[in-house]
Amino acid sequence: MTVETMSKYHVPVMLSECLEGLNLRSDGTYVDVTFGGGGHSYPILDKIPDGKLIAFDQDNDARELAIDYPNLIFVNHNFQFISNFLKYFEVPKVDGLLADLGVSSHQINEGERGFSFRYDADLDMRMNQEQALDAYEIVNTYSAEELSKLFKTYGEIRYAWKLANKIVAVRQGKPIATTGDLAAIAEEFTIPKQRNKELAQLFQALRIEVNDELGVLKSLLTKSLECLAPGGRLVVMSYHSLEDRLVKTFMQSGNFEGKIETDAFGRSLQPFKLITRKPITASEEELVSNPRSRSAKLRIAEKL
């Protein structure tokens, strides 16, 4: 795949930082759990001529963009199944795992996928287009209490309860079918100068719920403990505080409660050594060339 083709699909965020964080060996075995358009995967493959890369993506569009590489295994499934597929391909341990948790430029720009309020499209937002649950079902069937909790928890929306009640009232007349319908309802509660930001928070909340993003992330982080070889690197790039908090806590303690276990002698049983104490963020140059990098936070840890 050419750089031009990858750029049309998705511009990889902090590419050099991710490659450096993986500490690539030419004969190593690595996993990219968010293939997208191959923005990170193909540069990894170029640096491991004697190694292997297993790339996951449940999006059928990504499958169409996966080209033949002798040392690339593409898996058209959600990365929550990573353990199963590593066993299937007889890969006992990997030397590095990369997860870029952002929505690809391609998914946002394909208006019919319903990820963005900038396009009037069916309420969808499914990463896996074969799953049943979509944004339409959530908006039109969840109770006011469920919607309010979702908006507040996943979108940090200040007007969550008012919006939830308005949605329930509107859908009694007719279903809320499109992104435009939903945005029009929400605009009433937004501050004009912050409208785009607040609508983005609303769509983020729905996307997280549709795709169970936090549940899947927890599953991935837990499974990384069994998948990574000693010295293997866990490299995770998140785009909102809910994800980053999970990643930070897990890398520090090996669980999501933040409790550091000790052995009978009081020695720490932390499973990772932190390579980054604080998250890496995009350079000023990258922020200018790729505005979507502005919210990205990259954390790196090494399996002990």
For every one of its 304 residues, what pLDDT tens digit does the chain have, with 9 covering 90 and above? Answer: 444 444 455 689 999 999 999 999 999 999 999 998 889 999 999 999 999 999 999 877 767 666 678 899 999 998 989 999 999 999 999 999 999 998 765 555 565 677 777 888 999 999 888 899 999 999 999 999 999 999 999 999 999 999 999 999 999 999 999 999 999 999 999 999 999 999 999 999 999 999 999 999 999 999 999 999 999 999 999 999 999 999 999 999 999 999 999 989 988 999 999 999 999 999 999 999 999 899 999 999 999 9
Domain count, the chain: 2
**Of the residues 211, 226, 241, which one is the last residue of a structural domain?**
211
Q: Same structural domain for residues 96 and 241?
A: yes
What pTM, to 2 d.p., does this model score? Answer: 0.91
Residues 6+ apart with CB under 8 A from 135: 114, 123, 124, 125, 206, 207, 210
Q: Same structural domain for residues 190 and 250?
A: no
Q: Same structural domain for residues 21 and 160?
A: no
Q: Quick one: tokens of 148? A: 């309010």
Q: What's 50's domain CATH number?
A: 3.40.50.150
Residues 6+ apart with CB under 8 A from 260: 252, 253, 254, 268, 269, 270
Q: Domain limits at 257?
A: 3-106+213-303
Q: Same structural domain for residues 25 and 102?
A: yes
R_g (Cα) of the chain, nearest Å: 20
What single letter denotes the amino acid at residue 192? Answer: P
Q: Residue 7's pLDDT is what?
A: 44
Q: Same structural domain for residues 152 and 181?
A: yes
Q: Same structural domain for residues 140 and 186?
A: yes
Q: Residue 68's pLDDT is what?
A: 74
Strand order in the sheet with 52-56: 72-75, 52-56, 29-32, 94-100, 228-238, 297-303, 272-274
Q: Same structural domain for residues 217 and 101?
A: yes
Q: Same structural domain for residues 254 and 182?
A: no
Q: What's 198's domain CATH number?
A: 1.10.150.170
CA distance 179 to 171: 14
Q: 304 and 114 in contact (C-beta within 8 Å)?
A: no
CA distance 187 to 194: 10
**Of the residues 169, 187, 211, which one is the last residue of a structural domain?**
211
**Of the residues 211, 245, 260, which one is the last residue of a structural domain?**
211
Q: Same structural domain for residues 227 and 92?
A: yes
